[in-house]
Amino acid sequence: MSSQKNIVPAADIEGLIAQGRPIVVHEGHALDLGEWINSHPGGRLAILHMVGRDATDEINIYHSARTVLCMKKFRMGRIHEPWTNLEPPIRRPDFYTNLTAQKERAKERAKELAIAHEKPSRRTRSVDLGSAAAILNKKLSTTATCTTTTASCTRRTSANISADPEKLPLIPEPDSAFCKKTHRENYAIEMEQQEIAQGLLDNPAVDAETQRAIVHEYRALHQQIKDEGLYECRYSEYGKECIRYSILFAIFMYFLLAKWYLTSALFLGMFWQQIMFTAHDAGHMGITGHFIPDTIVGAFIADFCCGLSIGWWKSSHNVHHLITNMPEHDPDIQNIPLFSTSPTYMKSILSSFYNFSFLWDGAAEVLIPIQKYTYYPVMALARFNLYMLSWLHLMSPRAAQLGAAWWTRPLEIVFMACYWYIFGYCLVWSYLPSWPIRIAFVLISHMMTMILHVQITLSHWGMPTSDLGPVESFPQRQLRTTMDVDCPAWLDFFHGGLQFQAVHHLFPRVPRHNLRRGQALVREFCERTQLKYQCYGFVKGNGIVVGRLDEIAKQVKTLVDCQKYMSETGESGLH
């Protein structure tokens, strides 16, 4: 470990980051986390999204005091303060461009080898349409309106002319698909810029001084949270939770044994909806605060009782908390072609989480315009998708790359196998008497959990997805992209803590039974800092989400109508 008095110049840090070193800033020191990134329980992506940034707040609120103390061994030296945040390489557009370029070069090499093996009688020239499009995009001005869009669709431009025609990049004749893609991307960019402009108007300025003042108040609030003991779990509340879960399960068993199969399915769905709140708490180590017991509790509830991988949930949820509502990075809002909560998806994006592209295609142009109507039906069936994601996670290398103990993946596989044996074989296949009852039982029990899926999406799907830049502080982004649900205290059990998502995103390790007190402190914090605290009733919150879905749907409809007009009239926008 370097001496703490050693100052590491910002230029040196930037150079090391350019070489691929995962360096973050914490409490005035540069940390090189290269030795830890592969064993980080929160996964590699959680660190990669903090590279080049002052991650003091993120590190302190997500980790126990013991873990934070361990950070000292990764110190390279002190940094010049105040630190100016860099854009993490994983968030830069060229990061994905480079990845795509590497894949394309690999494909081209494979094609060249195939052609060489075929021994063609005449040499042919390959055409790099991507490079040609890039040249044209630089040369042609574009806007995103139907009447003024410049379709970059032309055979050649005077800028391409050279003495040797054979060296000219060949560009196809005006192609409707190419024109539509260019128009769509320009339109999406314009919509993004409008959202960014609105975000800058509606929130405190993102200059360094204003954001430092917000961070100062946030750290004072964090200290107050600790001083009031809000990190201490009230186990008596979990005693009440267990009684409620037991009652729901007992009612399910009573009606099942009485052969009221479909009624019993209702209560099984209620049981799943309620007990998953405790799995959420355990995933954040908000029950005991220790990895082993909370992991076992989380796996027992999620995997054994509900058939869902707690490891999958952690891998996506940790990233979601750090980069909330970033279209390219937050897996919780990446649902193309079924849903889009951001105009960004019209451009087709490469997901840094899933490591594949969400392509905007004909299915998206059909489904997104009607997404406000399909929202609730899809939420009713969303549990089936979670089953698939859970098994895909456990069968993928990612399940062994979370720095978890060696036993976590085998434990999950055993628990999930038990779930499918008990629920799938013993109950649905063996006990239920006929196929119509089996199908109805599965659908009813799973559709009851739509309440949980609506609760999960409610706090973010209606919120902005714009990126206001690397200067924006952690607390401002969390409050800007998260909504709370207002409800009386006696109804807290129904929402299971998810009604306090804004508070939870600011302090994710605070046990949920202390979040109502935390809400009062956050309200005071927002008054001091002029940050907006967005809290609405359950019905109004649903209206905001549906309204956001409708807003994006109208943008897509405008885009499709415009493309149709261009196709029918031949109007390219070149004037």
Both tokens assigned to 31: 């940390």
Q: What string of DSSP letters covers 389-436?
A: HHHHHHTSGGGGSS---TTHHHHHHHHHHHHIIIIIIIIIIIIS-SHH
Query: β-strands 535-537, 484-486: how paired?
Result: parallel
Comparing CA positions, the residue from 48, 23, 129 lying closest to residue 401 is 48
pLDDT per residue as tens, the chain (575 positions): 444 568 999 999 999 999 999 999 999 999 999 988 888 877 888 899 999 999 999 999 998 888 888 888 999 999 988 899 998 999 876 665 555 555 555 556 556 555 555 544 433 333 333 333 333 344 333 334 454 444 344 333 333 333 443 443 433 444 556 566 778 888 899 999 999 999 999 999 999 999 999 999 999 999 999 999 999 999 999 999 999 999 999 999 999 999 999 999 999 999 999 999 999 999 998 999 888 999 999 999 999 999 999 999 988 998 999 999 999 999 999 999 999 999 999 998 889 888 888 889 889 999 999 999 999 999 999 999 999 999 999 988 777 655 567 888 999 999 999 999 999 999 999 999 999 999 999 999 999 999 999 999 999 999 999 999 999 999 999 999 999 999 999 999 999 999 999 999 999 999 999 999 999 999 999 999 999 999 999 999 999 999 999 999 999 998 888 877 777 776 654 33
Burial of 24 from C-beta contacts in 10 A (0-12 / 13-18 / 19+): buried
Q: What string of DSSP letters covers 298-338?
A: HHIIIIIIT---HHHHHHHHHHHHHSTT-TTT-GGG--TTT
Beta-bridge partner residues of 537: 486
Burial of 357 from C-beta contacts in 10 A (0-12 / 13-18 / 19+): middle
> How many angstroms separate the most distant Cα atoms in the chain?
88
pLDDT of residue 138: 40
The domain limits of the chain are 7-91, 194-537
Both tokens assigned to 284: 């954040």
pLDDT of residue 178: 57
Q: Measure the CA–CA gap between 234 and 226, rounded to whole angstroms.
A: 15
Cα atoms in the 13 Å half-sphere on the side-chain side of 179: 24
Instruction: Indicate the angle between helix axes 435-447 and 261-283, nearest 10 degrees.
Output: 40
Is the bond leading into 337 cis (omega within 30 degrees of zero)? Answer: yes
Q: Measure the CA–CA gap between 47 and 440, rounded to whole angstroms.
A: 44
Q: Measure the CA–CA gap between 238 and 243, rounded to whole angstroms.
A: 9
pLDDT of residue 564: 78
Both tokens assigned to 49: 């999204």
Q: Measure the CA–CA gap between 194 and 265, rounded to whole angstroms.
A: 47
Give the DSSP H/E element, type plus range, for residue 536: strand 535-537
pLDDT of residue 575: 39
pLDDT of residue 183: 81
Q: Measure the CA–CA gap between 110 and 115, rounded to whole angstroms.
A: 9
Radius of gyration for the chain, computed over Cα atoms and rounded to the nearest angstrom: 26
- End-to-end CA distance of the chain: give it in Å, rounded: 63
pLDDT of residue 109: 56
pLDDT of residue 208: 92
Q: Measure the CA–CA gap between 338 and 566, rounded to whole angstroms.
A: 26
Cβ atoms of 560 and 370 closer than 8 Å: no
Query: Which architecture characterizes domain 7-91 according to CATH?
Result: Roll (3.10)
pLDDT of residue 39: 80
Q: Measure the CA–CA gap between 412 and 393, rounded to whole angstroms.
A: 11
Look-up: residue for tokens 């054994």? 304
Q: Which amino acid is at 551?
A: E
